[in-house]
Amino acid sequence: MKAISSELRQAFAVTEELRVVINYGNPILAHRPVSGDEPQGVSVDIARRLAQALNLRLRLVTVDTAGFAVKAVENGEADVGFFAIDPVRGAQIAFTSPYIIIEGCYLVREHFPAYALGDIDVAGNRIAVGEGSAYDLFLTREIQHATLVRAPSSPAVVNTFIEQNLEIAAGVRQQLEADRSTKPGLRLIEEPFMQIRQAMGVPKARGQQASIWLDDFIRGLIAEGFIHQALSRHSIIGVTVP
């Protein structure tokens, strides 16, 4: 990668500190520390590499939902973040190329009469979604007949689904599979309803040079195998690296 100019560095961080928002709401990307004080996960590993590449100190800004992560970057509380690409978020945030692709799926009770995607969007069906998540934004545009019921976060979706006796839960495949393993009588509809393209993002106000450089940075990590290695290191399976 080319040498970093002072102008580029200042586009990412006005001071010598790079603030990167980490979302605990997506367990594929980050999780709370088991020991020590810092979060862990694929996004944290990428954040460290980014700060190193820019020769800046790293400060991790942790939040519990994707919606809060978006607001942190849009409001200037963080310089860079990790997001699913979505046109609503794209109004203010410039996204890189995706570095992993995750599947969004549905979870139902074992005997509920839904076995394919066409069985979901039916009047009377209520779908639990994580408020402000990528699949919430997607289903808000796509669902015509069923009703969306918003849980406070993605990890809370299945509990909301059970507690409110809803018909369907929507979420990231790995999260739903983990919840299903601890709660008997649930079934995953195998066909995904969407492909969630995870990328990095920087405010468009930081300028085109910053967004182009960040995209090159992510492409470089993919090419050198860093993303594959990080997924393996954190025992993440079932995702695709473009």
CA distances, 100 to each of 18, 62, 68, 84, 198 (Å): 23, 21, 21, 10, 5
CATH 3.40.190.10 correct for 103-195: yes
Q: How far apart are CA 166 and CA 127, in angstroms?
A: 7
Taking the domains of the chain in order of start, what are their residue ranges? 6-100+196-233, 103-195
pTM over 0.85: yes
pLDDT (tens place) for every residue of the chain, 242 residues total: 556 888 899 999 988 999 999 999 888 899 887 766 789 999 999 999 999 999 999 999 999 999 999 999 999 999 999 999 999 999 999 999 999 999 999 999 999 999 999 999 999 999 999 999 999 999 999 999 999 999 999 989 999 999 999 999 999 999 999 999 999 999 999 999 999 999 999 999 999 999 999 999 999 999 999 999 999 999 998 899 99
Q: Do domains 6-100+196-233 and 103-195 have the same CATH topology?
A: yes
- CATH number attached to the domain at 6-100+196-233: 3.40.190.10
Dihedral sign for Cα 6, 11, 17, 21, please. negative
- Cα Rg of the chain, angstroms: 19
Environment class of 105 (CB within 10 Å of its CB; exposed 0-12, middle 13-18, buried 19+): buried
